[in-house]
Amino acid sequence: MWHWAAAASSLVIVIFLLVSRLRRRHPETHYDWGNIDLGDLSFPSGFLWGTATAAHQIEGGLTNNWSDFEEDRGLERSGAACEHWTLWRDDFQLLSDLGVGSYRFSVEWSRLEPEPGSWDEGEMRVYSDMVDDLVSRGIRPMVTLHHFSHPTWWEERGGFADRRNLPDFLSYCERVFDELSDRVEYWCTINEPTVCSAMGYTLGQFPPGKRGIRLTMRVMRNLMRGHAMVYRSLKGRRPECQLGVAKNVTLFDPASRWSPVDWLVARILDWLWNGSWRKGMTTGRMLGSRIPGAKDSLDFVGLNYYTHFLTGLFLPTATKELQFAKREHEVATEFGYPMYAEGFRRAIDFVSELGVPIEITENGVADAEDTLRPEHIRRHLWVVSEAIKEGHDIRSYHHWSLMDNFEWAEGYSMRFGLHAVDFRTQERTLRKSGEFYRDLIS
């Protein structure tokens, strides 16, 4: 009996010491925002201000893995989206009016190669015209090659779940690169690989709507393989171009900072979401496999930052069941997750370890009435400014998004735009926060 009691109390002590150590090593910073002068900003000359979009969310009229998924699942359809494919010149005028110096957008593979091996030169010309137009406006184009969407035929072959499909992805990327890289210097190979794999293969909320942990890990490795192949090939074609990945860094914090279970879940999720990816990029090994060419395959790291996630015993199995918890003092955004600008700094510190320049490729908030966005922008930019002052090499900030658009599984319910879009008339209206962003840029 005595032995059991002794063993049990030693276990409690060990767990206590372990949790104390975790608490020290992974502090969850919170600032006293009331006492911070958010107007105290300084950015180096040459810092680029921008906005970001993605093809499937704005162009309209697409048939790809996503539109198929919308149909199969009875989700709201992307349909005409922002009709950007015909209105892009007007939209680029909006960029000029905002005064941005950089614009991140994605190229839609399903447009360019609707059937395997058949290339649509006409559609390619439109992207090329877009690039010319941006350059003539003095706006740096930053092109993303894969932002969640790809052709139906490629999905039917298994997409990123089957590494034998990677050569198709590579040849699409090479072709786009050969057409645009004389004018486009900055490229993101893949947008948010972890979101793509977790949402598509664990939570089943993105195409192909599957659920399997082993499958997810396979897709994660293949996404990194795909990135590495593309990086090596494109770098060989034009070494002066700068290539990176847009990495979503979500922070995982234990709901209760004294709960060993919450800590365990937080650390596991952090490893799967963030740590294993960064390890892959620095060592060329991810989740037990060697990823050829992945080591040092970033000229810059794109950082997409939105929030932190509070973990508990019950892991969500689908976003519908996802309960976003928040700290008492935090404000919940329309999406449900809290505004946590402090985490932006933690995310910056995390990607800084890669030792390459940082481009903020996405940051923003869903806020139809525009009540939170101004404060959201102010806080997040203050954090970026402080990080730069303290020596972080951050080159740009792209606000998500230029305008309201199709927010994936959420459809049109989430409004992330600096411009509000009336989807019946396609009228764009600059929100107050857009005015604020414009004034700040100037």
- Smallest CA-to-CA distance from 50 within 112, 102, 111 is with 102
For ligand FCB (CB under 6 A), the number of binding residues is 12
Q: Smaller CB distance to ligand FCB: residue 187 or 416?
A: 416
In the bound state with ligand FCB, the residue whose beta carbon lies nearer, of 304 and 311, is 304
Residues 173-192 that bind ligand FCB (CB under 6 A): 191-192
Q: Which run of H or E residues covers position 302?
A: strand 300-304
Q: Please tell me the distance from the alpha carbon of residue 193 to that of residue 203, in angstroms, as a whole number.
A: 14
Write the DSSP string, 42-65.
---TTPEEEEE--HHHHS----SH
Does residue 192 carry a catalytic annotation? Answer: yes
Q: Catalytic pick from 192, 359, 362, 407?
A: 192
Comparing CB distances to ligand FCB, the nearer of 139 and 402 is: 402
Candidate list 400, 409, 428, 431; residue touching ligand FCB; CB under 6 A: 400
Q: Burial, 106: exposed, middle or buried (Cβ in 10 Å; 0-12, 13-18, 19+)?
A: buried
Q: Which is nearer to ligand FCB, 85 or 406 (CB)?
A: 406
Minimum distance from CB of 248 to ligand FCB (Å)? 6
Beta bridge partners of 141: 103
Q: Which one among 54, 81, 176, 219 touches ligand FCB, defined by CB under 6 A?
A: 54
Q: Which helix (H) or strand (E) holds 381?
A: helix 373-389
String marking each residue 286-305 x if it binds ligand FCB according to CB under 6 A: ------------------x-
Residue 48 CB, nearest distance to ligand FCB (Å)?
19
Distance CA 171, CA 181 (A): 15
CA distance linking residue 123 with residue 98, whole number of Å: 27
Of 103, 160, 408, 437, the residue at the interface with ligand FCB (CB under 6 A) is 408
Binding mask 246-275 for ligand FCB (x = CB under 6 A): --x---------------------------
State the Cα–Cα distance between residues 278 and 288, nearest whole angstrom: 14
The amino acid present at 129, given as its one-letter code, is D
Binder of ligand FCB out of 300, 305, 416, 437 (CB under 6 A): 416
Task: Using DSSP bridges, classify how beta strands 242-248 and 186-191 pair: parallel, antiparallel or unpaired.
Answer: parallel
The number of CA neighbours under 13 Å toward the Cβ of 187 is 29
Report if residue 149 touches ligand FCB, rule: CB under 6 A. Answer: no
Enumerate the active-site residues: 192
Residues that bind ligand FCB (CB under 6 A): 54, 57, 191-192, 195, 248, 304, 362, 400, 407-408, 416
